[in-house]
Amino acid sequence: MKSSQTTKPSLFSIDLRSLAATRIAAGVYLLCDVVQRMGDASAHYSDAGVFPLEALREWWDGKLWWMLTLHSLDSGAGWPLFVFGVQLVFALLMIIGFQSRFAVTMSWLLLISVQNRNPLVLHGGDQMLRATMFWLLFLPVGARWSLDGSIAIRRAYGQPGSESLTSIATAGLLLQTTIVYLSTAFLKNSKEWWSEGSAMYYALNIEQFRLPLGGIAKNFPPVVLRLSTWLTLAYEILAPLVVYSQRPIVRSLTILSAFVFHLGFVALLMDVGPISVASCILWIPFIPGSTWEYIAKQTSLRPMRNVLTKALAPAAAWRAARIAQWVKKEKPVPIIQTSVVGQVMAALSLLYIVHWNAYNLNPSLKQLLTPVANTLRLDQYWGMFAPKPMPDDGWFSLVAVLDDGSRVDLLQDGRPHTFKRPADVVHMHKTARWAKYWMNMWMEKHGRYRKYGVAYMRAQFQAKHPKREIKQLSFYYHLDITPAPGQRRAPVQPTLIWTETYVNASAPPLAPQNE
């Protein structure tokens, strides 16, 4: 069905198929996220791990314990695993679109819960997903491509079923993407991004992120790296504005460029965790209806559509029977438009989020209603590589002196310790969350939490090697400062950031040895 509404989208309209695609993509992302977290339920979310409840109380300063997290109701690993199981159920309900609004609401609440339980393992993708899920609360996410079938029920009643929706909530969801990109662009306020153009050089020299292709790219001529720096900055400013074009082709190409930028550029050069995928989800609501209509007409996709139709046939039959019963029992016609109360809440939320990001750009402003932001997790900060990429790169080692005098590195699976650079710094840690956790341990503001990570690693080693007693632990960050372009790199500086002695109290901290 063609209409002027689908071929020329209004400024803040969202096609209901795009909204459904956002729901499904967020659900799949959430499903994968929960499965990964389950593998570290004990390490990240129990008292036996790196962030016990004692650390959680320190983080929230004992003032906000009442709003913290369902995941902390028990100190063992069993309870978080149970809650993760519940999260999986709601993520699946989001994907299939059954009781969609309720599924999104519960998924959002549980997402806040797990993010509050261990803030030290969070990355930018977590914040993006949290923001996306918040705006989905106000929208009819089950209208299309769902078992709910709200539009199909309306049509069964002979009611009109528009393919698009415009409201304050749709404006909020779309503007959230603009806020993310403009904020991260203007938070990059250093000479490395603007006048000097060396930000890409510094970013590609961060071994904690750099992938093999990034290692090749970092050796490109300086003029190429400067140009890529300025093009990245220009893209972050222009793309979230151009995407509001009334021309569907311009909007579609802008969305495509965002996918290429994140999945074909950033993700191939640097391992920044799932933030690239989360960034792509932000752009899905902008997809105009004409794009879905174009895809539907492509004969080359017919075999795929046939397979999908056949696979979904049982679900379609179930939904058809459900709709027939719905009409027979004369249940209420589903309402697609957001309620007045929802609109007011969306408007207030949008104003507050704009204020919060304005404060990030100008800290001289007064931050308002901080408890509201902390409770609903409306707090946002989009400072990826801002104000500049960090020059203080490096890697960690957790050196254990055993009772036989040998030295092993607990961060290298107990292999003999060496101060030499690991062969693959970017893949030292098994997941992006572990990498983020250890990177946070280098920051002085998180220094008081180092003892918990050290204690966890010690307990893990002793459990595997009960006959090899640890006498001393020394936690090092091997600081490798990226030099300015054209200058020589200084020697790596092994920096002792934590040490404990368990047997001989007079034993000195382990000093680096020449090898």
Q: What is the pLDDT of residues 213-222, one digit of tens each?
A: 999 999 999 9
Residue-level length of the chain: 515
Residue finishing a domain among 376, 411, 442:
376
**Residue 509 confidence (pLDDT):** 54
In a domain, 383, yes or no: no
> Does 371 share its domain with 403?
no
475: three-class secondary structure by DSSP = strand
- Please state, in angstroms and rounded to a whole number, the distance separating the CA atoms of residues 273 and 435: 9
> Does 410 share its domain with 334?
no
> Does 355 share its domain with 414?
no
Residue finishing a domain among 376, 408, 433:
376
Q: Span 484-496, mean pLDDT?
A: 92
- Please state, in angstroms and rounded to a whole number, the distance separating the CA atoms of residues 456 and 444: 20
> Does 436 share its domain with 335?
no
Number of structural domains in the chain: 2
Residue finishing a domain among 376, 410, 437:
376
Q: Give me the amino acid identity at 446.
A: H
**Residue 201 confidence (pLDDT):** 96
Q: Average pLDDT, whole number, for the chain?
A: 91
> Does 164 share its domain with 279?
yes
> Does 399 share its domain with 370?
no
Does the pLDDT value for residue 115 go beyond 70?
A: yes
CA 180, chain centre distance (Å):
13
- Compute CA distances 373 → 36, 125, 128, 197, 377, whole Å: 27, 18, 15, 35, 5
Does the pLDDT value for residue 444 go beyond 70?
A: yes
In a domain, 181, yes or no: yes
pLDDT tens digits along 256-294 = 999 999 999 999 999 988 899 999 999 999 999 999 999
**Residue 62 confidence (pLDDT):** 59
Residue 105's domain spans which residues?
Answer: 4-376
> Does 228 share its domain with 307?
yes
Does the pLDDT value for residue 388 go beyond 60?
A: yes
Split at pLDDT 50, 70, 90, the class of 515 is very low
- Please state, in angstroms and rounded to a whole number, the distance separating the CA atoms of residues 350 and 402: 56
Tokens of 220: 């490109």
pLDDT tens digits along 14-39 = 999 999 999 999 999 999 999 999 99
The pTM (predicted TM-score) of the whole model is 0.92
> Does 421 share its domain with 352?
no
- Please state, in angstroms and rounded to a whole number, the distance separating the CA atoms of residues 263 and 186: 23
CA-closest candidate to residue 175, choices 208, 213, 131, 116: 131
CA-closest candidate to residue 50, choices 123, 110, 115, 121: 121
Q: Span 128-140, mean pLDDT?
A: 97
- Please state, in angstroms and rounded to a whole number, the distance separating the CA atoms of residues 17 and 23: 10
Q: Beta strand 392-402 with 470-481: parallel, antiparallel or unpaired?
A: antiparallel
